[in-house]
Amino acid sequence: MKPTKWSDPDKKLFPHQVGFTGPPMDFDAAPTDFLRICPPSVGAHGRLLHAPGYAHELSQRVDNFGQLEEVVHCFSNAGADVVGQVGTNWVHAGGRDVHDIRRYVAEVSERYETPLHMAGLTLVEACEAMGYERIALNSVYFWPDWRDGVVRFLRSADIDVVWYGNFVDQGLYDDQQTVNDLTWIFPGEHALESTRRTLEASGEVDAVLVNGMSNYRDPDGLPQRFVGLAAGIESELDVPVVSADISLYWRIFRTLGIEPVGDHGSLLASLQSGGD
């Protein structure tokens, strides 16, 4: 059971405590990005999975899937109120579908008395909450097997994926290896342009979904994720944009029962007083 001392607010560093775990072998921006859009009552802590030799293969997600429960156990012991798992591909690795993952997160959350939210599942949950049935998937830097797994996972939740494509499919790069060599960080204009090309290819949809945690350099050269760009992209293209970072943060805010700070697109705005 979760240590009883964490039920006493005076024992906690922050009224709202959030744990994040990201893919092994990568320094992840989620704790920092999340805190930027939080009120001061929130604290965030990151914990990497230990997987020596990790090379982002789907089979390695399967082999290390059990570590996610270990993470929740550790964060529960440390007094986290909720845990967010960064990385869209973990939900579909090994052929898992939405029913498998709903069952898994429910069991782990109950066992350790600490809600677990997995990024890939939060894309589905956001579509359900907002009534998005017909979507296009901007698969950004994803390898073809990653891309196809996300599509299969979304469709297992009865979401109509009318078009999907990564940067190569969209014509932004000639081959996947060139994309891989950029290590998840891309020119700033690619966030808007990849979403524009996805929308043009798909026609009318309820929303554009974006998998993964891609980064785009701002004019100062600092990488930004979609959470910092979605409001501008939505204004430019007149379509809701739901990326995996945004949907994960949205789900965590819902669990905590607090509102995000600032304008970060329509999904997070739906949690704010006066939001749609």
> Of the candidates 113, 108, 176, which has an alpha carbon nearest to the alpha carbon of residue 140?
176
123-244 architecture in CATH?
3-Layer(aba) Sandwich (3.40)
Phi, psi of 38 (to 5 degrees): -110, 155
pTM exceeds 0.95, yes or no: yes
Position 105, amino acid: V
Q: pLDDT tens-digit profile of 102-141?
A: 999 999 999 999 999 999 999 999 999 999 999 999 999 9
Element (H, E) at 137: strand 134-138
4-119+246-261 architecture in CATH?
3-Layer(aba) Sandwich (3.40)
pLDDT for the residue numbered 276 = 46
Residues of the chain with pLDDT > 90: what percent?
97
Q: Half-sphere exposure (CA, 13 Å, Cβ side) for 181?
A: 6
**CA-to-CA distance for 240 and 25, rounded, in angstroms?**
32
Q: pLDDT tens-digit profile of 255-268?
A: 999 999 999 999 99
pLDDT-derived band at 1, boundaries 50, 70, 90: confident
Residue 77 reports pLDDT greater than 70: yes
As annotated, the residues of the chain forming the CATH 3.40.50.12500 domain(s) are 4-119+246-261, 123-244
